């Protein structure tokens, strides 16, 4: 069961949305030139899942199907290596989110109560999703084509979302650990509070971006 709405919003969502649209992305320097690509362009067998980080879903609506999943090319190349390793174990990769514009990070930060801020990024620093360097990933069973049961939903703000959560059935934890092993083996870093979140660290970083997802590549 999802636990994304077991809290009251710190501020009205409509108010924060309007504010986010007017806000400016933090100014940075010395960054790499973005090279965003659609993940399926490099990994055609990827399945796109539900965009759980969409504003609508995050604030109580239905999760929309992910139609575009851009990321930096280096991320796509590393994910291809992880997907190949997982394929050997009978798993496919499901992408629930990739690049997302900075304004969404602004909204999440300002509507989530302070005691839950460890689940969201501070817009002053931005999210690695805003740089095209982070992915939200889960697994499917290649034999059946069904999504794998994991220790929590990808939208959960609960202890079950932590990468070292030791409760629940052994099978979901084993699959979580298989995912982590393949992703880390391909160069990604995991996030302690979200088993599904992976970041590829590069130097120099790519900039925080506010380009609409559907406009990437145009």
- Phi then psi for residue 50, to 5 deg, are -95, 135
Residue 2 is predicted with a pLDDT of 42
39 within 8 A of 47, measured Cβ to Cβ: no
Using 50, 70 and 90 to split pLDDT, how confident is the model at 6?
Answer: low
Q: Is 28 a catalytic residue?
A: no
Using 50, 70 and 90 to split pLDDT, how confident is the model at 8?
Answer: confident
- Residue position matching structure tokens 């999504």: 147
The answer on pLDDT for 208 being more than 80 is: yes
- Residue position matching structure tokens 């999760």: 63
In angstroms, the CA 193 to CA 216 distance is 29
The answer on pLDDT for 29 being more than 80 is: yes
Using 50, 70 and 90 to split pLDDT, how confident is the model at 39?
Answer: very high
The full set of domain ranges for the chain reads 36-215
What residues pair up with 72 in beta bridges, in sequence order? 36
The mean per-residue pLDDT over the stretch 54-65 comes to: 80
197 is in an annotated binding site: yes
CA angle 170, 175, 181 (to 5 degrees): 125
In angstroms, the CA 210 to CA 129 distance is 11
Q: Dump pLDDT digits (tens) for 72-82.
A: 999 999 999 99
The one catalytic residue among 15, 28, 194, 214: 194
Using 50, 70 and 90 to split pLDDT, how confident is the model at 218?
Answer: low
- Residue position matching structure tokens 């969201």: 120
Q: Dump pLDDT digits (tens) for 112-149.
A: 889 888 878 999 999 999 999 999 999 999 999 999 99
What's the CA dihedral at 193, 116, 19, 133 to 10 degrees? -10
pLDDT-wise least confident of 52-56, 75-79, 94-98, 175-179? 52-56
Residue 162 is predicted with a pLDDT of 92
Instruction: Report which of residues 59 and 23 the model is more confident about.
Output: 23
Strands 134-141 and 36-38: unpaired
Residue 59 is predicted with a pLDDT of 72
Residue 3 is predicted with a pLDDT of 44
208 within 8 A of 35, measured Cβ to Cβ: no
What residues pair up with 188 in beta bridges, in sequence order? 200
Residue 214 is predicted with a pLDDT of 86
CATH topology of domain 36-215: Muramoyl-pentapeptide Carboxypeptidase; domain 2 (3.30.1380)
pTM for the model stands at 0.91
In angstroms, the CA 168 to CA 151 distance is 7
């Amino acid at each position: 069961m999802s636990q994304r709405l077991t809290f009251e919003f710190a501020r009205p969502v409509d108010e924060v949305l309007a504010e986010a649209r007017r806000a400016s992305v933090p100014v940075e320097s010395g960054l790499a030139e973005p090279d965003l690509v659609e993940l399926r362009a490099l990994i055609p067998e990827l399945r796109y899942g539900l965009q759980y980080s969409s504003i609508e879903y995050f604030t109580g609506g239905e999760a929309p199907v992910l139609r575009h999943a851009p990321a930096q090319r280096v991320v796509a190349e590393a994910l291809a290596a992880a997907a190949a390793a997982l394929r050997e174990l009978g798993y496919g990769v499901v992408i629930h989110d990739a690049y997302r514009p900075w304004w969404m990070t602004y909204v999440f930060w300002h509507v989530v109560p302070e005691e839950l801020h460890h689940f969201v990024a501070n817009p002053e620093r931005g999210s690695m999703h805003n740089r095209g360097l982070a992915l939200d990933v889960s697994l499917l069973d290649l034999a059946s084509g069904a999504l794998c049961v994991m220790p929590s939903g990808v939208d959960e703000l609960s202890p079950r979302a932590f990468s070292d959560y030791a409760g629940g059935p052994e099978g979901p934890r084993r699959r979580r650990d298989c995912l982590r092993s393949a992703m880390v083996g391909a160069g990604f870093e995991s996030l302690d509070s979200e088993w599904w979140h992976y970041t590829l660290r590069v130097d120099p970083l790519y900039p925080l971006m506010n380009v609409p997802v559907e406009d990437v590549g145009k």
